[in-house]
């Protein structure tokens, strides 16, 4: 009886160990599959998350774009201090058009401090600057990255950077030359702005090497991304572009 009971317990223990080992193998395989799937779908997840965030932004409560009594508007100054998305592009473009309607000859100052955003929305602002008559001076302050740097470069007036600003140019566009494809059109217009307005190194083109290139103001001046670096504030001087 004792020997039989011992054999039963041993069989149960062996069975339990086999089951436990099988579960570990299954769990490991499942983890590998999850990691493999994640690696394949990172871009899809990023796009999905971006679409979701944009939808939340668009679904938010509608607020008045601006008031004509805004002292910044009266001084012909516009701020872009958030991510470049559909809402900020709408706000900035509306302000630019309003100021152009009030005086189509007087310069407008657009101050940019942004982590970047969507290229389509950046071109909404760029195209608005190009279709209005009033020249738009762009100012890089703090950090001017990605889509923000693109808007900065496309100014129709002068381009400034404060001496503490960090600028960044993305060269991470999808490399596609297929006819009628969006990646091809996106790359062509993105590169066209920089080729027409800057002297970036030729080896940065095509902008498909998945790099983030950070510049200090003097480097931005050297590459003709800006026209002037503004020194630290001096009460005895008037800032360029100020009215």
Cis peptide before 206, with omega less than 30 degrees from 0?
yes
Q: What are phi and psi of 23, to 5 degrees?
A: -65, -40
The three-class DSSP label of residue 162 is strand
Which residues face 147 on adjacent strands? none
Give the pairing of strands 166-172 and 208-215: antiparallel
Q: Report the phi/psi class of residue 94: left, alpha or beta, with left for phi > 0 and alpha for psi in -120 to 50.
A: alpha
Residue showing tokens 């779908």: 41
Catalytic residues: 146, 170
One DSSP character per residue, 31-57 reads: HHHHHHHHHHHHHHHHHHHHHHHHHHH
End-to-end Cα separation, the chain, in angstroms: 104
Rounded Cα–Cα distance for residues 31 and 186 (Å)? 37
């Amino acid at each position: 009886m004792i020997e039989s009971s011992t054999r039963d317990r041993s069989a149960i223990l062996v069975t339990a160990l086999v089951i436990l080992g099988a579960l570990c193998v299954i769990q490991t395989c499942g983890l590998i599959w999850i990691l493999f799937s994640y690696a394949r779908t990172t871009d899809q997840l990023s796009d999905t998350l971006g679409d979701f965030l944009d939808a939340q932004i668009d679904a938010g409560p509608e607020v008045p774009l601006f008031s004509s009594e805004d002292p910044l508007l009266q001084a012909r100054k516009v701020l872009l201090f958030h991510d470049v998305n559909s809402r900020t592009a709408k706000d900035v473009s509306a302000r630019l058009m309003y100021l152009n309607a009030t005086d189509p000859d007087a310069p407008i100052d657009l101050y940019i401090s942004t982590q970047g955003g969507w290229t389509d929305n950046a071109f909404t602002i760029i195209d608005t600057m190009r279709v209005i008559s009033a020249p738009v001076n762009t100012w890089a302050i703090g950090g001017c990255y990605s889509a923000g740097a693109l808007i900065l470069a496309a100014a129709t007036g002068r381009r400034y950077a404060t001496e503490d600003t960090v600028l960044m140019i993305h060269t991470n566009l999808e490399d596609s030359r297929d006819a009628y494809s969006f990646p091809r059109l996106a790359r062509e217009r993105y590169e066209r702005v920089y080729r027409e307005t800057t002297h970036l190194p030729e080896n940065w083109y095509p902008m498909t090497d998945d790099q983030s290139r950070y510049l200090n103001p003097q480097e931005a001046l050297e590459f003709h991304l800006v026209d002037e670096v503004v020194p630290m504030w001096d009460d005895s001087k008037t800032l360029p572009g100020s009215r």
